Every structure is written in structure tokens, then in C-alpha cells.
Chain A
Amino acid sequence: MAKKTIELIVNGDHYEVAIDPWRTLAEVLREDLRLTGTKIGCNQGDCGACTVIVDGRTVSSCLTLAVECHHREITTIEGLAKSPQELHPLQQAFIDKGAVQCGFCTGGMILSAKHLLDRNPNPDEEQIRKGLSGNLCRCTGYNKIVEAIGHASRQMASCKEG
């Protein structure tokens, strides 16, 4: 099959890649763009480690064909911080609250959390848990992740007020 040339806008950068049309967004991000913060935990759309944000919505990049993302805006975990010095409040909260262990689910968790806070800046615990129900973690038992997201949402609210 002929390769397709597509343009991806990832974390604000434009990339032109010629790819086999059957390749997934996760593969192209990891192998062609070498943005390896997006992890493949199951390649079946079940674990959420490959979560990225495409045009404001979270997707499992292992179930998304890269060609579907032609000209679309993609945010990966590498693009979340404003600068290397200034982390996103969610990232900082994950560090401070001990929400990171092996780190393999972390990128997907944070992007799912970001999507949740974008829609609901002040979620209660149940809403946070629901928002994470597509992301599996085997190390933390989720409680510190939930705590970190609650903490970040409060931080972000107080920043806005201030």
C-alpha cells in the first residue's frame, strides 16, 4: 500500500510524515516523531496509557489511525508543561502527592485528568474517579492520583481567583 503524507500538529509543532495508512497515532508519535512519553500498555484501547488529546478530546492513540489526525492538534504529555521550568499544576500535584510510582500510566492519567478539569474545573471525588475509569494503574491503588487531581483543581481555581 502506498504511504500517505500527513501533517500532524503536536504540542504546537508541525510535523510532516509519510506513513503506512494502517499505522496508529501511538506508533507514529513514538516511532516517527520520537515522542515516547505516550506509552503502549495494551494496544487494545483498555488501559489508557496511550491517552493523548486530539482537538480538545482525549483519545486512545493506540486505537486511532494517524491518518485520521491529519491537520489536527494533538497534545501529548511532553506538551503539557508551559516550559521545562514551569510544570502544569497537575504535573506538580502528581509529584507532590506521591501519585507516581512506575510512571508508565502517568502520562495518560494526567492527560485524562486535564480533560476532566477542562470540562469540570471543580470535580468531587466521585467525578474524578469516574474521569479516570479508562486509565489503569497497577502500582498506586489510584488514591494518591485522585488526591493529586483534587489538589491541582483547587490550585488552579485559586490561581484564577488570585
Chain B
Amino acid sequence: MNNNPAIIGASLPRLDARDKVTGRSIYVDDMMLPGMLYGALLRSPLPHARIKRIDVSKARALKGVKDVIVGADTPQIRYGNWRLVPQSQDELPLAVDKVRFLGDEVAAVAALDKETAERACQLIEVEYEELPGLFTVEDATAEGAAIIHDDSPGNVSLNRKITYGDLEAGFKRADYVRDDVFTVHAVSHAYMEPCSSIAAPDEGGRVTLWTSTQVPYIVQCLLAATLGLPENHVRVIKPNVGGGFGGKMELRPWEFCAAFMALRTGRPVKFTLNREQELAFGRRRHAMTIHSKVGFTKDGKITAKDFNVLLDGGAYNSMGPTATFLCGNFGAMLYRYPAYRYLGRHVYTNKPPAGAMRGFGAPQALFAAESQMNMAAAELGIDPIELRIINAMETGDEIPEVATISSCGFKESLVKVREMSGWDAKRKEKSPGRGIGVGCYSFISGGVFNWFNTKYNFATAEVRVFEDGTAHLLTMATDIGQGSDHTLRQILAAELGIGIEKIRLTAADTAVTPKADLGTWGSRVTLMSGNAVIDAARKIKEMLIPVIFSQFDLNQIHDVAFEGDRVFAKARPDKGLTFGECVYKALRGRRGEPLTAFGAYTPRNRGLVSPAFSFGAQVAEVEVDQETGLIKVQKMYTAHDCGVPINKMGVEGQLEGSIHMGLGYALMEDFVMKDGRTLNTNFLDYKIPTAQDMPPGESVEIDTYEPEGPFGAKEAGEGLVSPTAPAIAEAVHHATGYRCMDLPITPPKVLKGIGKLK
């Protein structure tokens, strides 16, 4: 249990903030190395084509050009995050034979300056034989459709099934069955920092890569594999990263090209993308077609659910296999489903690949599932929050063959959000144009699954302590802006009983920090890396405790406490030393052997999905202009269970950021595409919410303790992005009678829905 309330659960300003407010923080594109070359990529102008011929001679002859590469120059080793299933690894850094989306990387140039590199790209001549483009999952899965990848006839790259219980009996027992189809769209991560990478040759044919990534270890392994180098020849360093949200969690072609050309030219090579490229060619959240059938008894108990999903994966698998699995998992979370059948099909199309994005399959699944709960509630004549309480999961519930819920504050969240939002009164009130709606979520605290097939622990930490009373924490955990560096420092400070400012942190350098860490995704860092930090810290404490016993001749029944930069007998606080003195004496006793310890965390006996699940409920209040269809979200109320929050201010920041992203998903963000081309490639046309769009909010953390989490904590960063869209959709329905079945909820759809537009 937490014995350090000044640190755990406090609202602490982050230590990295000072450098960020003064402009001193270094991101990759801020770096320049001596002799550095600038890279540029040539991308396919066609969505689907065979490459007949490439001629780079004019580009190579341009003054200032130092290297030009095409697929044929490279080792042509396929890669993908799903190393566990090698046939799923379907990407090459540069296209060979075929391009599969408009933007697929075909060639790369390194030159003395950016302009020369861009000009050289335009001088590369590529002759294509155009193939039919497939832009919808329906077209791609139609009989006789062109084949995008030869080994995936029918263009389905993956089928994922989850089944339990007796589905047929469940639907037979149902008094009421809903059968609906929902569609959800693709959206951009829109992290503020465009991707940037610099590779520099290192001695002995080795290479160092500074890159804007959420997964330095994965990049190290896959980069080494694609270069044909031993893993240890590649060093990946993550400086400050300007957001990721899932969009920076794979090896990317420019990382390979920078490293490959750095090794060829003997000079550092930098690639930096611009916003237009990010929006036109970047990863995105999966668009899905979701067919959901759910049965209820007349008193509201769920009897069975049949969930069929087609995921628009774009041209490559990317993180699609995980999104496919998690979508199925979240199709049956939150409530007790006695019988469930899921079939998810991941479909290739000739569009930029969809990948991981905050929520990772959950926002789509939960838009459908939560909207359907709202629709069912209306038909059953039961209040939507009451219907949820009737079916809600509780602590100790089992998801068959998947997980046991070791802490769950879902019912409490529902009760709390009903009370704080004034739900009962506002729900009954029927004033035209005003509405209130609810949506809920659950999410994972990291994955149990090992799709990357790592041989190492999932999370690790090294802790060193010194006689000056300070500590050094080394971890491959990857702070991309969420503040996990600070959270891990808090956890170490609480465990060792020293001040946070006494902890030096070295993070995310694969040559220095202990192996391994799977990176930032799936809300895994606080729980997994936090547990690894505690494990290391406890080993350090074992080295220090004997000093106190020897020094003060203590009876062995005593316990030793670590608090306030002191180590002492718990029952006799006067019998103790400062932390630094204690380290000094231990060091003497070890005849100079430094005090350093490794800690690790890999989930054991935690089912198939996640060691712990978060829960929560959100209520949206909206006002809809009946003439224009414009929706103004008036207020958001959230009650959520993230276990024990480590840093309250950090958790609030995650919640507010999630509402921003959920609001954009619900109301305004959307890729406009025509024949595989993304048309809105700037922030005027691709709209994300501004400060003026953000509604005020109220939130409450439900008090739970997650036994598997560090100090009782579980995830807070990702799940909260899911409830916003279904809550707003329900509020719009309450206000106008229009039910959105296809996100986003735009004014024309509202006006059509209320019969004011044909």
C-alpha cells in the first residue's frame, strides 16, 4: 500500500516542463550533426500499380546529391510489428515491384540540403502499370476483386474470432433483439510534431538513430532486421517527442532510409516530414463497418451478442491485427455477456494503412456497443444508465478464457456520473435542441499478448543509488508527452522515500537502458514500467536494510522504513541514517561494489488480454441548432476508475486530452478521400478542435485499488477517448430525435435526420 501520500496521488508539476516552457527541450528536428545530409522520399502517385522501370540517373547527377536508393538497392527484408506471425510482416521500406497506396515509398535521396533532395526526387523517372484501385472494404472483398497482396486472396489479411457461451440459446431466451449496422470513419493522430529521424554511422559498421518514436526497442529490432545487421549494431535514442497517440509505434520507411544511407555515405542523414505528408500518407484510426446483434430479456438483462466487424486496413497490416483483436475484446467489455461471438476481418484496400490509435479498436467497438445500449434502453423503456447498471461488470468477474477483472469501479462510475450531471432531471426535461446522453468505456493497462515475440521482459528498470543521497533510474519506457518519465520518478521516489528531484533519469536509449520495453501503447507504461521500477527499488532496499540492523544492533523483528530521505527502524525512527549515509555504509560493506539493481515486469497468470482494466462513464450535454444542425457540446461529466492515480494532475491532463480527441472524432475530424487520394492535408481542411470548441468538464475519480498495479494504479491515458462519441451521439438524439449510425455527426446529417434537408 502507498505509504507516501505526499508523492503518490499528489498533483505534481512535471520536471520536464521547465525546459519545455523555455524552449530548451530538444526534439529530433532541432538536432543537426556535423556533415549531416538531408533526406527526401519519392512516393507513389498512384494507389495501386506495378513498377515497370525506375531510372535514377538524372537524380544521381544533380549537384549536391550524395545518395539515391530504390527498393532494389536494399536487402528487401519484410517487416511488421507482428513478428509472432511472420507472414503478417507485409511491408518493405521501399517498394519492390508494386505500390499499394498513393504515397507508398518508392525511392529516397540524401543531399547537401533539403531543396536539392526534393528536386532530385522529382528527377527520378518511374514507369508504372496502373492496377485497379480498391477503396472500400466492400469493393476489396467483392468477388473477382484485384488482389493487393499475392498471399491474401480476397484481400482479407486476417480473420479473428472470439466465442464463448451458447449464442443460439442466448438469442432464443431474449425477449428483445436489436440488429444494427454502424460505420465509423478514419481519423488522424494529428500529433503536433511531424515525424523526424536522424541516423549517424557509428564505428564498426554500427548505426545510431535519433527518432520521434513511441517504441525505441521495436524500432531497434526491426531496423536491424531490415538492414541485415545484428540487433546490437543498432542504437535507437528517443529525444523529446511531440505526441504520438499510436501513430509512431512502428518502424517507418524514413528510419530505414536514414540508417541505410548513413551507412552508405558515412554521413548522418535526416528526414523530417511535413504536415501535408503526415495527413496525406500517415497512419490513421481504422474505419470500420460494424454489424452488431444483441439480445435482452424484457427486464434488461443482456442474453447474447453477435459482433461482426470489417476493418478497413489500408495497404498494409500495420497494427491492424491488434486493433482487430481488441475491437472484438471491447465489443463485449463493460457488461456481462453470457454468450458472445465475434468475427473481425481485416481487409486490405489501396489507401494509407490504418494503425494503432489511442483506444486501439475500442473507440469503434464502443461507439457501436454504447449506441446500441442507448437504443435498446429507449425500446425497453429503461433509463440508459439504469440499463447499464443492470448489466455492469463487477470486481471479480471473469471474461471467459480471457481475464479476471481484479478491480472494477464501473457501477460506482455510473452512479456518480448520474448524480453529478443532474441526469435524472435533465433527461426528463424535453426542451427542443437540448439533450443529454451517456457513453461508457473500459480499457486495458497494457497487453498480455506478445505479438512482437520479444524474448525479454515486457518492461524493465535499472536503479542505481549513490552516497550523495541521489538515485539514477534507467528505463526504456518512452515518454512521448504523456508524462510517464515523471510518473516513474514518482513511483521510485515513493518506494525509496527520497525526493523526486534527487532522481536522475535516463530513458529510451537502447544502448544504455536495460532490455527491454515494448514502448508506449495500450496504456501500458504506468502499470508495467511502474512495476519494474518497484521491483528494482525493492532490490536496492534489500541492500540497504542490513546496514540499519547492523548499525543499530536491531532485533530482527523490526521493520525498516524509507521516508523523507531517511532509512530507519519503523518503530524507532531515531534509529536510522540519511539515505545517503545508508548507501555509503552499504558501499563500504560491499567493498566498493556499486549499488545497482535490475527490475522487471512481465504479466503472469493475467489471462490473455491485460493485467488490469479501467472503467468509466461519461455524460455529454449538447445544444443543437435546429436551423443549421450545428452541435455545441455544453459540458462533459466524467466518472472514471483508473485505480489509484499516481499523479492527479497528469490523470486530469489525460482525461481532458481524451475529450478533445473524442470530440474531434464525434463531430468534425474526417479524411476526405477521392480514389485513394486524401484531399484535406492541412489543419484548415482537416479540423481538430480548438480552444474555443472545448467544452468545460467536471470529473471524479472513483476510488479503487488495483492489486496488480504499482501503488494500486492502472491505466488512464487511452480508455477515456472512447465514451465521448457515443455520449454525444445519444445527447444529439435526445435533443433532436436524430440517431447517428455513421460517424462523424455533421450538421448536414443532423438536418437530414430531422427532415430539414433532403
Contacts from A to B (Cβ < 8 Å)? 30-31, 34-44, 46-47, 49, 76-78, 80-81, 84, 87, 91-92, 94-96, 98, 100-107, 110, 128-130, 132-133, 135-146
Contact = CB atoms under 8 A, between A and B. Distances in A.
A91 B697 CA distance: 24
Given A98-B650, A143-B697, A76 B193 contact: no
B23 A98 contact: no
A47 B683 contact: yes
Interface string B693-706: 01011000000000
A70 B247 CA distance: 39
B154 interface: no
A105 B691 CA distance: 13
B190 interface: yes
A41 B22 contact: no
A39 B193 contact: yes
B282 interface: no
Contact of B690 (A81, A95, A110, A133): A133
B689 to A, nearest CB: 8
A87 to B, nearest CB: 7
Interface string B669-699: 0000000000000111000101110101100
Contacts of A30: 30
A126 to B, nearest CB: 8
A38 B21 CA distance: 11
B657 A98 contact: no
B243 A139 contact: yes
A91 to B, nearest CB: 4
A107 B242 CA distance: 12
B682 A139 contact: no
Contacts of A98: 11, 13-14, 649-650, 652-653
Interface of B: 11, 13-14, 16-27, 29-30, 32, 189-194, 240-243, 245, 274-276, 480-483, 649-650, 652-653, 655-661, 682-684, 688, 690-692, 694, 696-697
Contact of A138 (B14, B192, B692): B192
A95 B17 contact: yes
B241 A102 contact: yes
Contacts of A81: 22
A82 B231 CA distance: 47
B481 A143 contact: no
> Which of A42, A87, A105 is the most central at the interface, judged by chain B CB atoms within 10 Å of its CB?
A42
Given A130-B692, A138-B245, 4 more contacts: A95-B21, A103-B16, A104-B191, A137-B691
B691 A138 contact: no
Given A77-B23, A98-B652, A144-B653, A44 B682 contact: yes
Contacts of B694: 129, 141-143
A96 B660 contact: no
A144 B22 contact: no
Given A39-B242, A102-B243, A103-B242, A140 B653 contact: yes
B193 A104 contact: yes
A12 B251 CA distance: 43
> Which of B20, B242, B653, B697 is the most central at the interface, judged by chain A CB atoms within 10 Å of its CB?
B20
Contact of A100 (B20, B24, B192): B20
Given A49-B192, A146-B691, A44 B23 contact: no
Given A46-B683, A138-B245, A100 B193 contact: no
15 contacts: A36-B23, A39-B242, A41-B192, A41-B242, A42-B275, A77-B21, A87-B18, A98-B653, A100-B21, A102-B241, A102-B243, A102-B482, A129-B691, A138-B245, A140-B656
B20 to A, nearest CB: 3
> Which of B653, B684, B697 is the most central at the interface, judged by chain A CB atoms within 10 Å of its CB?
B653
B26 A47 contact: no
B30 A104 contact: no
B21 A94 contact: yes
B240 A103 contact: yes
Chain A interface main SS type = loop
Contact of B193 (A91, A102, A133): A102
B679 to A, nearest CB: 15
Nearest to B14: A100
> Which of A35, A39, A104 is the most central at the interface, judged by chain B CB atoms within 10 Å of its CB?
A104
A12 B191 CA distance: 32
Contacts of B275: 41-44, 46-47
Per CB-CB distance, the 8 closest pairs between chain A and chain B, nearest first, are A37-B23, A102-B481, A104-B242, A103-B20, A141-B656, A36-B30, A46-B683, A77-B23
Nearest to A107: B23
Contact of A143 (B14, B21, B22, B696): B696
B27 A39 contact: yes
Contact of A142 (B24, B30, B190, B691): B691
Contacts of B16: 100, 103
Contacts of B193: 39, 41, 102, 104
B688 A78 contact: no
A106 B656 contact: no
Contacts of B19: 103
A77 B691 contact: no
Contacts of B688: 136, 138
B21 A87 contact: yes
Contact of B660 (A34, A47, A135, A141): A141
A76 B23 contact: yes
Contact of B191 (A38, A40, A102, A107): A102
Nearest to B647: A98
Given A101-B482, A141-B659, A133 B192 contact: no
A137 B203 CA distance: 40
B34 to A, nearest CB: 14
Contact of A40 (B29, B245, B482, B690): B29
Nearest to B240: A103
B243 A138 contact: yes
A84 B649 CA distance: 25
Contact of A46 (B30, B652, B660, B682): B682
A136 B690 contact: yes
B241 A144 contact: no
> Which of B17, B194, B688 is the most central at the interface, judged by chain A CB atoms within 10 Å of its CB?
B17
B653 A96 contact: no
A91 B22 CA distance: 7
B683 A141 contact: no
Contacts of A35: 23
A120 to B, nearest CB: 15
Contacts of B240: 102-103
A102 B690 contact: no
A67 to B, nearest CB: 17
A71 to B, nearest CB: 23
B384 to A, nearest CB: 25
Contacts of B25: 103
B255 to A, nearest CB: 19
Nearest to A104: B242
A82 to B, nearest CB: 12
Given A101-B482, A102-B480, A44 B276 contact: yes
A20 B482 CA distance: 39
B623 to A, nearest CB: 16
B22 A138 contact: no
Contacts of A80: 22
Contacts of A96: 13
Nearest to A34: B32
A59 to B, nearest CB: 17
Nearest to B663: A141
A81 B688 CA distance: 31
B710 to A, nearest CB: 21
Nearest to B19: A103
Contacts of A91: 21-22
Contacts of B32: 31, 34
A94 B23 contact: no
Contacts of A31: 32
